[in-house]
Amino acid sequence: MGAEKTTVRRKSGALWVVVMRGVALSVVVWACGVGLLTGIMTAGGVGEANAFPVLSGLTALAAFVGAVSVVRHTPWGTLISAMLVAVLFTSLLLCMGLLSWQRISWTGHGGTLLLWSLCGGGAAGILGRPRAKKKPRRTW
């Protein structure tokens, strides 16, 4: 009469909640990074000429972090899940840009930032770990 083991499964919630959690994480990482970059630029640590490459890397990193957090919690493949988060994050950046300024220069820095955001999501889809396969339970 041994004690039976019970496993507690952690539910990740509805799929749209999981995806929005990844997008929110991307926005938080991006906003914190922009605030930190602004402080470093004000202190003179980063010049204005070097600010855009740092910002594009920060945008890719934010999309990567948000997409990696979602990859294992969705039933789709890693690339589809990561790109979904990256596309939603990119569209959110686009909406914030359109609300802040009257127009966005697509040939200049605006389109490049959006492209880096999608590249960050693509990298998360390629490098993200797939969901672990379920092993059949043995019953003795």
pLDDT tens digits along 32-85: 999 999 999 999 888 888 889 999 999 999 999 999 999 888 888 888 999 999
Residue 47 pLDDT: 85
CB 30 within 8 A of CB 62: yes
At 77-121, the pLDDT tens digits run 888 999 999 999 999 988 888 888 776 666 677 788 888 999 999
Three-state DSSP class for residue 52: helix
Position 29 pLDDT exceeds 80: yes
Are the CB atoms for 89 and 124 separated by under 8 Å? no
d(C-alpha 55, C-alpha 63), whole Å: 12
Asked if residue 121 lies in contact with residue 83, where contact means CB atoms within 8 angstroms, the answer is yes
Find the helix or strand (DSSP H, E) in which 99 lies. helix 78-100
